[in-house]
Amino acid sequence: MKGKMIPLFILCLLVGILSACGNKKATTVKEDDKADEQTRKDELVLAIGSEPEDGFDPITGWGRYGSPLFQSTLLSYDENFQLVGDLATDYSLSEDSLEWQVKIRQNIQFSDGEAVRADDVVFTFSEAKNSNSVIDLSNLESIHASDDNTVIFTLKQPDSTFIAHLASIGIVPQHAYNEKYHEKPIGSGPYQLVEWNRGQQLIVEKNPYYYGNESFFKRLTFLFTEADAAYAAAQAGQVDVAVVQPRLADKKVDGMKLVELESVDNRGIVFPYVPSGQVNDNGDPIGNDVTSDPLIRKAINIAVNRKELVENVLEGYGTPAYSVADQLPWWNPDTAFEDGNLDEAANMLDEAGWQMNSNGVREKDGIPASFTLLYATGDEQRQSLAMAFASMMQPLGIEVETAGKSWNDLERLMHSHPVLFGWGSHTPLEMYHLYSTSTTGKGYYNPNYYSNKKVDEYMEKAIHANSPEEANEYWKKAQWDGEIGFSVAGDAPWAWLVNVEHLYVIREDLEIGRQKIQPHGHGWPMTDFIQNWRLIE
């Protein structure tokens, strides 16, 4: 008798799938009545990204890729990428470039009403330095408060990138910082936490003591949902801001408009730089005999048609990426090159001795030009990019298999297999992390064991430069100085593919103003200027 259940089961499955979106729409529209509309005048519901699993503690990395929301930073970047004072009113660097003096605002309070003092800043940076977290403050010799409103940072060596820390570490109150802080953050940012239901939502309210522009919205609710669910909620009129995937971006949602934010959130492939045969301390293999050939890496870079990837995988919502930091002040424009050029790439490989065999795969010294490209499983966009990339390599005679792996597996395999990664940050330090010999194999930094003495020299000079302008010159030289560099013209340890535009649908009367170029990390960077958002009539 029960056998009859089989077709019923499939039918349910099918019907369930087919009506998944329609259902939600039908049931939720009813709830959206007029009374609700009234209260929503000064409230926003946002479904813009994933939940920060480690909570909201700046010392363990919260806010590093965007705004800390609950806390405020000493300095911040404005829409034009200029550093401006935030918690700090004034800052100066000593003649020998070793001492930063930062004046902080007077008479301001944390969201619990306690005054913000220089000691809190000292406490925050000391904790961050000692915490061994993602924030690297090893160049910070000491920090002390010379009076209630002045903090002095003393560096071991001149460091042009140090200022980025002043703009990324949110200040935490010494009196309220404990092991529960990441769940109950208190700070001097525009909003304070009301409730956090792990895995579901975060509710925040205006911080009455905030010193900056008064926020238009009293209350914000962040929903932590999958992108598809966020979109469905937007269609139902339940959320005011929702992240949207490129394939759905062209579809108009009633009462909502599309916002496209430019980003340096890039995707690229890292190629193992050394030949195979070694292992690291954990016994994971290092190196790859195909990708250790610079001409293979260059040919791939030249052959990939990045515009096509943008057009077809990102549906046009992105830009081709030629480097890790396209368009940023430290980017070297000379490193841009023409891609999608199969013939030139083929000639290069022919000359280098990679000859086509009967299977349409190139071969040199008995080694076929084939590898497995790995990507983080579950990320549909990365999967699509990897697969599209693989199909582009086929006519060139490079055989690319693709495989999705968990982050745990990737950590073991990334030294010996090409991997599709995403980076993109507002600090040039990212280049140092990815290309410096000294960061080799640390976490996800420099996973391919790239090393070039001259590049290291340039980057050291850039870091210890006296001014950002001088530093940028060295950063550019590290990419390409006319002879060497880590760009495609030089060693080409990476093939950068695309910059992903961040897409949101927001309600039509919501004005979010100009945004700066978004870093990696979909979602939270968007809240950078949330205190300036308002509704327009």
Partner 1 sequence: MQAGNEAAAHDLKRRRSDKRLIWLPLTALIALLAFGIYSNEQVMVNLQLRNQAPGLTHIFGTDWLGRDLFFRTMSGLTRSLTIGLIAALLSTLLAVIFGILSWWHTKIDMVIVWLADLLLSLPHLVMLLLLSFAMGGGMKGLIIGLTLTHWPKLYRLLRSEILQINESPFIHVSRQLGKTKSWIAGNHLLILLLPQIVVGFVLMFPHAILHEAAITFLGFGLPPEQPAIGSILSEAMGFLTAGIWWMALFPGLILLATVLSVDWYGRLLGKKLQVKGGHHHGG
Instruction: Supply 274's token pair.
Output: 């050394």
Out of 247, 307, 454, 461, the residue judged to bind partner 1 by CB under 8 A:
247
List C-alpha distances in Å: 223 to 69, 139, 513: 15, 38, 22
**Does the CA dihedral 31-35-41-44 come out positive or negative?**
negative
Place of tokens 């050291």: 460
Which residues in the 65-124 window bind partner 1 by CB under 8 A?
none
Kindly state the smallest distance separating residue 1's Cβ from partner 1, in Å. Answer: 6
Measured distance CA(19)–CA(15) in Å, rounded = 6
Q: Which amino acid is at 33?
A: D
Q: Is 238 in the site for partner 1 (CB under 8 A)?
A: no
Q: Is 401 in the site for partner 1 (CB under 8 A)?
A: yes
* Span of 147-155, 217-225, 229-237, 261-269 interacting with partner 1 by CB under 8 A: 229-237
Query: Based on CB atoms, which residue is closest to partner 1, 310 or 431?
Result: 310
Place of tokens 């140092």: 432
List C-alpha distances in Å: 227 to 26, 223, 235, 242, 243: 19, 11, 12, 8, 6
Q: Is 352 in the site for partner 1 (CB under 8 A)?
A: no
Q: Is 18 in the site for partner 1 (CB under 8 A)?
A: yes
Measured distance CA(48)–CA(224) in Å, rounded = 8
Kindly state the smallest distance separating residue 230's Cβ from partner 1, in Å. Answer: 11
Instruction: Supply 225's token pair.
Output: 């949902």
Interface pattern 291-330 for partner 1 (x via CB under 8 A): -----------------x--xxx-----------------
Which residues in the 156-215 window bind partner 1 by CB under 8 A?
none
Q: Which amino acid is at 69?
A: L
Place of tokens 């010799």: 141
Q: Is 7 in the site for partner 1 (CB under 8 A)?
A: yes
Q: Is 383 in the site for partner 1 (CB under 8 A)?
A: yes
Which residues, in sequence order, are bridge partners of residue 500?
Answer: 318
Q: Is 380 in the site for partner 1 (CB under 8 A)?
A: yes
Q: Is 27 in the site for partner 1 (CB under 8 A)?
A: no
* Span of 31-39, 193-201, 244-252, 266-274 interacting with partner 1 by CB under 8 A: 244-252
Q: Is 254 in the site for partner 1 (CB under 8 A)?
A: no
* Span of 230-238, 274-282, 445-453, 498-506 interacting with partner 1 by CB under 8 A: 230-238
Residue 391: strand, helix, or coil: helix
CB 248 within 8 A of CB 258: no
Measured distance CA(224)–CA(4) in Å, rounded = 39
Q: What is the 8-class DSSP label of residue 14?
A: H
Give the count of residues interacting with partner 1 (CB under 8 A): 41
State the pairing for strand pair 75-77/256-261: unpaired
Out of 295, 352, 361, 387, the residue judged to bind partner 1 by CB under 8 A:
387
* Span of 41-49, 353-361, 386-394, 495-503 interacting with partner 1 by CB under 8 A: 386-394
Q: What are phi and psi of 155, to 5 degrees?
A: -100, 155
Residues with Cβ < 8 Å from 215, sequence gap 6 or more?
190, 191, 206, 530, 531, 533
* Span of 46-54, 227-235, 321-329, 410-418 interacting with partner 1 by CB under 8 A: 227-235
Query: Based on CB atoms, which residue is closest to partner 1, 5 or 84?
Result: 5
Q: Is 9 in the site for partner 1 (CB under 8 A)?
A: yes
Q: Is 229 in the site for partner 1 (CB under 8 A)?
A: no
Q: What is the 8-class DSSP label of residue 317?
A: -
Query: Based on CB atoms, which residue is closest to partner 1, 2 or 514?
Result: 2
Which residues, in sequence order, are bridge partners of residue 85?
Answer: 75
List C-alpha distances in Å: 421 to 128, 268, 495: 27, 6, 10
Q: Is 358 in the site for partner 1 (CB under 8 A)?
A: no
Query: Based on CB atoms, which residue is closest to partner 1, 116 or 495?
Result: 495
Which residues, in sequence order, are bridge partners of residue 242?
Answer: 47, 505
Out of 174, 327, 377, 437, the residue judged to bind partner 1 by CB under 8 A:
377
Q: Is 248 in the site for partner 1 (CB under 8 A)?
A: yes
Query: Based on CB atoms, which residue is closest to partner 1, 19 or 142?
Result: 19
- Residues forming the site for partner 1 (CB under 8 A): 1-7, 9-11, 13-14, 17-18, 20-21, 228, 231-232, 235, 245, 247-248, 251, 308, 311-313, 377-378, 380, 383-384, 387-388, 390-391, 401-404
